[in-house]
Amino acid sequence: MLEKVGSSDADHIDAERKPSIGLNEDSLPNYNDAETKRILRKVDLRLLPVLALLYVLAFLDRSNIGNARVAGMNTELGLTSTQYNIALTVFFFPYAILEVPSNIILKLMRPSLWIAIMMVSWGIVMTLQGIVQNYHGLVATRVMLGFAECGLFPAATYLLTTWYCRFEVQTRLAVFFSASSMANAFSGLLAFGIQHMDGVGGLSGWRWIFILEGILTVTIGVTVPWILVDSPETASFLEPFEKKYIIARLRQDSGSSSGQVNTNEGYQWRYLKAALTEWKIYFAVCFLIKPSVTFPAADVSRSLNVLMPTHPPQ
């Protein structure tokens, strides 16, 4: 059992939360490492690929504006460099502000349902971005995209903590986060193929980039309530003893055995207070500021096909 480190209300809340099933530490099966790894691998194969796919789509939809720029969006809409940069930036205002409210909603409903609602919403916004006619329309859709996408990353992070012990979460979170690199790897090729639809339906190629990728997101988003598992208690792919084992491990690790979002206690404001007074959160924020500034994720234009000049300088 990991020793709890930290100050505070967060540890106090963990300590006072009561188990939701009739297990105690003595009833935790004494599985060997191989058996534990087998159960966790089973969870990994069912949970991580779905979360990675969702993040690939989210990153693809927020960053494909760079590919649209290469395909002629700025020219057709008459955008200046400043206007284009503003369109990139406005996405992050609602995205940053609404992450906490989004997870409050997540606490009150099934994670898979809330994530599905977000995905369908940002997929629709992405499709509408393909029919904007001017700068103001582009900015409006980027703001709406920030509203719709804000909750995916915190929701996925929370979902992982309902399945894994604290010392196991970071590896799974790294796998999830690396999906953004996968999006970068093929987004340019995908956009290159789509932009050859230039003129189809009377629409420019860059418009089809937004439209088709938005439709793809909506299509997958509709399936999320069925392909994304909410908690160990509701996981049909696990045997009953495997569910109990996972939940018992969670309680042993953190003092909570609920292992799910839909707990009977609902949301309480003291959870927010505990998060805001946890020093480790602020340490993580400071740690992430530098790479976030140095390597902005707002625009796929960091890829070579945009950063490199088309022709050598004369």
Q: What is the pLDDT of residues 120-130, one digit of tens each?
A: 999 999 999 99
Which of 29-33, 76-80, 193-197 is predicted with the least confidence, judged by mean pLDDT?
29-33
Task: Tell me which residue of 32, 5, 36 sits closest to 245, measured CA to CA.
Answer: 36
Asked whether residue 175 carries a pLDDT value surpassing 50, the answer given is yes
Asked whether residue 145 carries a pLDDT value surpassing 90, the answer given is yes
The torsion angle over the Cα atoms of residues 139, 144, 147 and 153, rounded to 10 degrees, is -80
At 310, the pLDDT band (50, 70, 90 cuts) reads: very low
CA atoms within 13 A on the CB side of 298: 19
Find out whether 94 and 117 touch, Cβ atoms under 8 Å: no
Give pLDDT, residue 176.
86
| Helix residue ranges per DSSP H, the chain | 9-16, 33-63, 65-70, 73-77, 81-89, 92-97, 99-108, 111-129, 135-149, 152-161, 166-177, 179-194, 205-227, 240-254, 269-276, 279-294, 304-307
Asked whether residue 81 carries a pLDDT value surpassing 50, the answer given is yes
Asked whether residue 18 carries a pLDDT value surpassing 60, the answer given is no
How far CA 9 is from CA of 5, 159, 165, 281, in Å, comes to: 12, 21, 19, 13
At 166, the pLDDT band (50, 70, 90 cuts) reads: confident
CATH label, 33-267, candidates 2.40.50.100, 2.60.40.10, 3.10.105.10, 1.20.1250.20: 1.20.1250.20
At 292, the pLDDT band (50, 70, 90 cuts) reads: low
Its pTM stands at: 0.77
Give pLDDT, residue 282.
81
Q: Where does residue 164 rank: exposed (0-12), middle (13-18), buried (19+ CB within 10 A)? A: buried
Task: Tell me which residue of 152, 145, 21, 138 sits closest to 77, measured CA to CA.
Answer: 138
The amino acid occupying position 167 is: F
At 261, the pLDDT band (50, 70, 90 cuts) reads: very low
Return contacts of 21-27, CB within 8 angstroms, 24+ apart.
21/244, 21/247, 21/257, 23/244, 23/247, 23/248, 23/251, 23/257, 25/248, 25/251, 25/252, 27/248
Mean pLDDT of the chain: 80
Find out whether 221 and 123 touch, Cβ atoms under 8 Å: yes
How far CA 47 is from CA of 63, 118, 135, 241, in Å, comes to: 25, 18, 39, 19
CA distance 45 to 59: 22
For residues 149-153, give the mean pLDDT: 91
